[in-house]
């Protein structure tokens, strides 16, 4: 709620959650005066280490609150989702919602054009008890959504690509954001529900030089290490290595469902055909027309959930409106899941 500087800032950095108050909380290793004296850069306390700066740029702050009262109230909300320890039962609240509630608005949630975005947060809120959601890191790496919700009074951890921001692509910050949240939920035995709509990992020199390989590997490590119930719903695009990274069967998902709009493939039809049928397209009398024919054929054959289901990649194709019902049933079926791992000192996450 106040300033923290120098070595003392590592104390909040080591905690599970960091709450900051706008215009009164500050965190930085080196203050503005020293920065100006050493490297000549001028910056204010707020710009350097204020709540908004850490909530939007560094990701160190999970919750940027308006004032002290708002901060304490949000701490109370967070604690309401958590058990006393990993050995304690999950807290349950009285639920007035129904496990059989249909969500017809989800049937029209996916846009007709594959290039159009939509807000995944609306999907998550629709299936949650009383449409309530509690979202850490709301202002950082918005292409990835992490949140706590309840299903029939029981807390559930949500990890979801958000196509409203950057098409929901996986990048360095999104991978870090999701990985840390997954490991926290697993530490407290909170089940994980993943919504996948991801075109792939962000390409380009900036991401490669920033370490997308090692940062992206954190996501795979976190999912595969987690022993809590893991349920995945594929809503639309689920391409390439990003498909594996968003809690696929290969990372230990207990149950994977897909909406009829799902496309599970190495890449989109256009890109795939340009590679697979390059010679055939270039030698055609009308390359553009031939490419269009091959793209349509590829989409009909591969870019649908039915082909994925025939390969055993997903367990079930569901109507979007039935998502809450199916998740509620699966959470109940998996509530006693127990997984024993080989004893070892500790694992080595790619940090």
105 located within any domain: yes
Q: Which of 242, 253, 269, 308 is catalytic?
A: 242
Q: How many domains does the chain have?
A: 2
Which residue would you say has higher pLDDT here, 300 or 38? 38
Res. 303: pLDDT tops 80: no
Q: Tell me, yes or no, whether 20 and 119 share the same domain.
A: no
Structural domain harbouring 58: 3-75
Q: Tell me, yes or no, whether 49 and 141 share the same domain.
A: no
Alpha-helical runs (H) found in the chain: 10-13, 32-39, 45-49, 51-53, 68-80, 120-127, 172-187, 205-209, 212-225, 240-245, 269-276, 278-283, 287-301, 305-310, 323-333
Q: How far is CA 177 from the centre of its chain?
A: 8
Q: Tell me, yes or no, whether 33 and 106 share the same domain.
A: no
Place of tokens 């449409």: 131
338 located within any domain: no
Which residue would you say has higher pLDDT here, 268 or 168? 168
Q: Tell me, yes or no, whether 31 and 120 share the same domain.
A: no
pLDDT tens digit sequence for 80-90: 999 999 999 99
Q: Which of 7, 40, 288, 312 is catalytic?
A: 7
Res. 15: pLDDT tops 90: yes
Mean pLDDT calculated for residue range 251-263? 95
- Tell me the CA distances in angstroms from 321 to 102, 103, 231, 317, one per residue in order: 5, 4, 17, 12
343 located within any domain: no
Mean pLDDT calculated for residue range 59-71? 97
R_g of the chain, CA atoms, integer Å: 22
Percent of the chain with pLDDT over 70: 100
C-beta pairs of 209-213 under 8 Å, 24+ apart in sequence = 210/172, 211/172, 212/171, 212/172, 212/175
pTM of the model: 0.93
Q: Is 242 part of the annotated catalytic residue set?
A: yes
Q: Which of 31, 59, 153, 241 is catalytic?
A: 241
CATH number at residue 105: 3.90.226.10
Q: Is 2 part of the annotated catalytic residue set?
A: no
Determine which helix (DSSP H) or strand (DSSP E) holds 196, and give its type and residue range.
strand 192-198
Q: Is 241 part of the annotated catalytic residue set?
A: yes
Res. 340: pLDDT tops 90: no
pLDDT of residue 282: 87
Q: Tell me, yes or no, whether 67 and 102 share the same domain.
A: no
Mean pLDDT calculated for residue range 265-271? 80
256 located within any domain: yes
* Tokens at 275, concatenated: 């590679």
Q: Is 31 part of the annotated catalytic residue set?
A: no
Mean pLDDT of the chain: 94
Percent of the chain with pLDDT over 90: 79
């Amino acid at each position: 709620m106040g300033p923290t500087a120098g070595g003392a800032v590592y104390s909040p950095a080591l905690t599970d959650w960091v709450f900051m108050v706008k215009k009164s909380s500050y965190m930085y290793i080196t203050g503005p005066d020293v920065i100006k004296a050493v490297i000549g850069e001028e910056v204010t306390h707020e710009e350097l280490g204020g709540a908004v700066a850490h909530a939007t740029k560094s990701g160190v702050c999970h919750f940027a609150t308006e004032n002290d009262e708002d901060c304490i109230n949000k701490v109370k909300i967070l604690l309401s989702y958590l058990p006393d320890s990993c050995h304690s039962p999950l807290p349950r609240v009285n639920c007035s919602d129904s496990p059989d509630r249909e969500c017809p608005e989800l049937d029209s949630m996916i846009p007709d054009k594959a290039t159009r975005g939509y807000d995944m947060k609306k999907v998550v809120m629709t299936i949650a008890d009383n449409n309530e959601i509690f979202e850490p890191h709301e202002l950082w790496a918005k292409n990835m959504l992490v949140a706590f919700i309840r299903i029939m009074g029981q807390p559930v951890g949500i990890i979801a690509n958000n196509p409203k921001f950057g098409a929901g692509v996986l990048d360095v910050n999104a991978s870090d954001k999701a990985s840390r949240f997954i490991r926290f939920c697993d530490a407290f035995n909170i089940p994980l529900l993943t919504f996948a709509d991801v075109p792939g990992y962000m390409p380009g020199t900036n991401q490669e030089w920033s370490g997308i390989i090692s940062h992206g590997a954190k996501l795979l490590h976190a999912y595969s290490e987690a022993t809590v119930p893991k349920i995945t719903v594929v809503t639309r695009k689920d391409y390439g290595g990003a498909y594996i990274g968003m809690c696929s069967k290969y990372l230990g998902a207990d149950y994977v469902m897909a909406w009829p709009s799902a496309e599970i493939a190495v890449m989109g039809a256009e890109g795939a055909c340009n590679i697979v049928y390059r010679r055939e397209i270039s030698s055609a009398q009308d390359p553009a027309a031939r490419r269009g024919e091959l793209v349509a054929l590829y989409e009909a054959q591969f870019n649908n959930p039915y082909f994925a289901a025939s390969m055993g990649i997903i367990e079930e194709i569901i109507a979007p409106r039935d998502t809450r019902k199916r998740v509620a049933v699966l959470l109940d079926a998996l509530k006693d899941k127990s997984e024993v791992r080989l004893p070892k000192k500790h694992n080595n996450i790619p940090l």
